[in-house]
Structure 1
């Protein structure tokens, strides 16, 4: 189990202190640590694992047309925001000199699409890795150091067609050297924080493009990386069965957690009379996604908390997350790259105002700092987050990393919640909580167009949710009712059809793009959960939107009904296992289905024609708990009439999921 322990700490260490690199306050530097910390005798000897985030810049050489990568609040660069993992060993000598060796991997950000200039090709760097020596001098609980060694990376050239879409992406590995300097500081327990600058020089190599009628591209990477990281000190013998003794007193003013989830999915061939641009391929396919997330929380003052969640995502959903409205992989919208890409998915401030009276315990957890809080309270959240973090919750169907994977099962599918491509937005939430009920409301940014990664302040979305808590025959239950409205840059289905009818030579999708304007989409959802016996619960969701205008953010559903049952394994001697069985029915408005039948394309679907039927989904899974940190899940989904098309399917989707958390 030593490897498991090392692995879980590696994924946990979380790239947490890089909040500053993404435009956040330097929260980690302000973390309160108990006073005995600075007076403790500290040793740097031992193994450690950790993670980092930050910001980079540099050059790939003249004439390489590098892709602009997102820097969030900073300018785009050849790397944009960065993040990755490290592992190493230090030995502190009696004279306080510290010698060490460290290996790391650093990944870059997604493309900043609005700032990408048209070109016949673009170059990029996917990741860099290093193996370095470290020489430092220990001043007790902090250590400045210099570092240097071997470096390598993977670069590629994206060859574009006339429309700017990639037609090929040949790549190559390049080696070189690195040098840098930094400082590391003991925080509390076995945690340390570091800030480090690295210069990386990779050898110049030419990538041939003869097959595309272009001369070769000479890629000569020179990179400057500023990293903020956390390390967990494992001690000199991490393979020992005896837990490593904490080097310093623990602090209760901050919290670190992490998760990693690998999902593999595939399906065999199915019946298909025809297919279109967004159709699920009928011949069968296998794909995988992998996400790793760090959850850092810092208590600023009484009731005030700051959270930061950097996340890497890699892989692809089936058919590039196209072809089914109730898509079978809840992590697929975050992926879309052959190598991990880093995003600061969440960064938000939370202030809780207690009204006094009865209190409840708050356990330590992801984005949750242990302590007590008043049951009667008012909470304000401001920043970047997923709307599902605070709305449309459900104990039995909410997290595709742990329970149901299908989009129509873990969310109210007809709620077109505001979000960028990976599913997050910026805004504010206010919640009033009482013992038996709560009401919460939020205002959010929306994308500037359907399926866009650009959030805008020009328009917005809003939701109000009421949550009632009750018991039936001493079994707890909850009912949530939400109403929502989005003002987004979308086109009207009926209007597009009317224009196309006057001139059938027009392309319906070009017509739709030409008539987009600020339009309102509104609807509601009803979400219930009910325990019917110990470790057995039922859930259900009903959602609806008006169906007049294009879907902006989530998926092509105008009305949806879902439900099922969740059973814990205590009944067969496996209390940490879970079995789930559920189903969903998705539907479209009349004008939406006519638009698709005319060859229209939605966010996820569009077969070029449509023999309309409701999309039906059945899902069952078994989650097997290997230990308290690792769960393995087998999942099966039956999709009837994928993309609402009775001329295609059914599709049988088989999935395996490996989930680790710390």
Structure 2
């Protein structure tokens, strides 16, 4: 019988070589156990080898580094290269989707569309080379044909096709650095490239790729600014590393029967999120205003972020995480006008086109101390496995301070719960951060079953509201976390103390100099008064489950309030609290209702500074009729699918920016959040 099937397979020809081999192996596997059955020695058949099939739809993301030229006299703007030098594209990244068809001769034909976005401005490099204007490439999009050859799980390929992009010129102020008037144009052209793609595990493939992009020449008329016309002709070099998820022949569907193409691996993971958050308010009382005041006429703005969470296990206890993130849009009034700002997704470095940053890249080493272990589920920036409950953890790299400090189960993530800055954070903790909210440093934690203690040392910006982190000064925080049960309901209490040293001005000194020299601008005096000064403070953070699916949170924070705020927002004292209720009570267990409030305040020195016309990080009306800023926030998070949530949010804020002469303001928000 087996000989017969062997002859049949032989007639099928060369393309069924592997099936014929499988039949022969299966024959031996059946005969040998029968011959040795009395000895009870079972043998296991060897699996037949199969070739990887590249056919199907796919989608993914990429990041990398590149450079570009725009033509003579175009003054390309230097963009951040992270660990590489600044360039005209800097650290870049985006997303792609496409389709492959593998032929019988292993040639792979495909089509791919992608978008690649440039990095953020490198402030230091820009200040070293001032110019009357600067040229920037905002993004490049392509639609390309691909031809590859499949060496099983390896596929080298070449590509080429149509390209387009958007450039803009920023006319600068007299200092040659401050951007004043952006003027943009779309340009078309062509692209060609080559690369190598490799099937990693599950349905994931990784690729390395180089693309050259040539866009058409466009003329910018700058005569209205007293400048000559500028010819912009982009020539772009892009080096990319990417990941693709292979869907198979049917788009947006997992392979048949949910089976992956290759075995899964627990040594690395990929997660992603995207959040769209529109927000607006109507006309408010506004008898006077400055550029840092909420506009009295009302305003609507929106932010959009997309983040990839990549993790890899290096060795036992050693892990590395990398989070490139695209961010686009602005908070209302450019994230100005409120101390407790209303949008936790709004960055101080907003942009009309998506900008990519390497927001997190850090190494994590866990040292188990033995004893009982706990399961660690797969999650963003968390690899599945087991770890000792008693352990020491060391983290070094770039991250947000809030990733490891001041946590709370009910009010911590503006992508999932409360949006206001004074609700998801201890508002008076001036945590070290650049404009998007991240820093570089080290954290060490000792964890026990019922408590933990952790501390961190971080870089701080070189000046208030700066995007440049420096080593000359720094910030530190120590936090103690206690875990308990009250009437069998779990809870946590966190107590933290912080200290920052940075280049800031002293409020009292600035006000005194301004009073003695009325002809001088108080904000010019503030800059001149900046030197290395300290700020310290404390916070207390409670979370407590009341009954199943109902929990409360409360925070209180304070800082000394004598010197300028360096990184976060203009708050010296803050208390907040509220409730979180899951929808199990009305038949929707994945929905959440949240309601809470916050009261923010300033030190006497800080009040006098603002009343004299000073401006802070986010606020400054030119004068001040002081009253504490009061915030009420309520939201309903409606779970649409297992991976998508729509949230409706309302915030009522009295005395915005501590000014009883302004507002109140009602802010309405929506939030669409998806993650996997």
| Coarse TM-score class (shorter-chain normalised) | over 0.9
Aligned position for 1:73: 83
Contact map agreement 1:314 1:335 (CA 8 A) in 2? no
Question: Which stretch of the first structure deviates more once superposed, 513-522 or 38-47?
Answer: 38-47
SS of corresponding position for 1:230:
strand
Aligned position for 1:279: 293
**What's the CA shift string for 1:251-283, capped at 9, x where partnerless?**
110111010000000000000111113111010
**What's the CA shift string for 1:88-140, capped at 9, x where partnerless?**
11111111111101000000001111211222211111000000011111000
Contact map agreement 1:289 1:335 (CA 8 A) in 2? no
SS of corresponding position for 1:408:
helix
RMSD (Å) for aligned C-alpha atoms: 1.3
Distance 1:498 1:209, change over 3 A: same
Contact map agreement 2:334 2:348 (CA 8 A) in 1? no
Question: Which stretch of the first structure deviates more once superposed, 427-436 or 328-337?
Answer: 328-337
**What's the CA shift string for 1:461-513, capped at 9, x where partnerless?**
00000000000000001000000000011010011111122212121111111
Distance 1:156 1:73, change over 3 A: same
Question: Which stretch of the first structure deviates more once superposed, 494-503 or 611-620?
Answer: 494-503
**Cα distance in 1, alignment partners of residues 59 and 224 from structure 2:** 43
Question: Counterparts of 1:571-586 in structure 2 under 5 Å?
Answer: 571-586=585-600
Displacement, 1:39? 5.7
- Paired residue for 2:162, among 150, 161, 168? 150
**Cα distance in 1, alignment partners of residues 326 and 573 from structure 2:** 32
**What's the CA shift string for 1:385-441, capped at 9, x where partnerless?**
000000000000000000000000000000000000000000000000000000000
**Cα distance in 1, alignment partners of residues 627 and 273 from structure 2:** 38
**What's the CA shift string for 1:22-78, capped at 9, x where partnerless?**
xxxxxxxxxxxxxx9996520001110000000011201111111111111111111
Aligned position for 2:527: 513
Displacement, 1:367? 0.2
**Cα distance in 2, alignment partners of residues 206 and 458 from structure 1:** 44
Aligned position for 1:356: 370
Question: Which stretch of the first structure deviates more once superposed, 241-250 or 396-405?
Answer: 241-250
Displacement, 1:162? 1.9
- Paired residue for 1:616, among 630, 641, 647? 630
Aligned position for 1:169: 182
TM-score under structure 2 length normalisation: 0.91
Aligned position for 2:247: 234
Aligned position for 2:518: 504
Contact map agreement 1:37 1:187 (CA 8 A) in 2? no
**Cα distance in 2, alignment partners of residues 334 and 354 from structure 1:** 39
Query: Does 2:148 align with 1:136?
Result: yes
Aligned position for 2:110: 100
Displacement, 1:245? 2.6
SS of corresponding position for 1:639:
strand
**Cα distance in 2, alignment partners of residues 428 and 487 from structure 1:** 16
Query: Does 2:66 align with 1:51?
Result: no
Displacement, 1:311? 0.2
May I ask how many residue pairs the two structures share in their alignment?
Answer: 627
Contact map agreement 2:247 2:253 (CA 8 A) in 1? no
**Cα distance in 1, alignment partners of residues 646 and 231 from structure 2:** 45
**Cα distance in 1, alignment partners of residues 215 and 252 from structure 2:** 36
Distance 1:314 1:240, change over 3 A: closer
Displacement, 1:560? 0.1
Aligned position for 2:318: 304
SS of corresponding position for 2:357:
strand
Contact map agreement 1:427 1:443 (CA 8 A) in 2? yes
SS of corresponding position for 1:592:
helix
Which runs of 5 or more structure 1 residues have no equivalent in the other structure? Answer: 1-35
Distance 1:167 1:620, change over 3 A: same
Displacement, 1:212? 2.4
Aligned position for 2:71: 61
Question: Counterparts of 1:189-588 in structure 2 under 5 Å?
Answer: 189-238=202-251, 244-333=258-347, 336-588=350-602
- Paired residue for 1:115, among 109, 122, 125? 125
**Cα distance in 1, alignment partners of residues 532 and 49 from structure 2:** 60
**What's the CA shift string for 1:133-173, capped at 9, x where partnerless?**
11111000010011111110001111123244333211111
**Cα distance in 2, alignment partners of residues 654 and 216 from structure 1:** 44
**Cα distance in 2, alignment partners of residues 280 and 419 from structure 1:** 24
Distance 1:334 1:660, change over 3 A: farther
**Cα distance in 1, alignment partners of residues 295 and 86 from structure 2:** 36
**Cα distance in 1, alignment partners of residues 550 and 206 from structure 2:** 43
Aligned position for 2:201: 188
**Cα distance in 2, alignment partners of residues 402 and 262 from structure 1:** 12
Contact map agreement 1:234 1:244 (CA 8 A) in 2? no
Flag the structure with larger Rg: 2
**Cα distance in 2, alignment partners of residues 448 and 120 from structure 1:** 25
Distance 1:243 1:261, change over 3 A: farther
TM-score under structure 1 length normalisation: 0.93
Contact map agreement 1:493 1:592 (CA 8 A) in 2? yes
SS of corresponding position for 2:285:
coil
**Cα distance in 2, alignment partners of residues 37 and 585 from structure 1:** 66
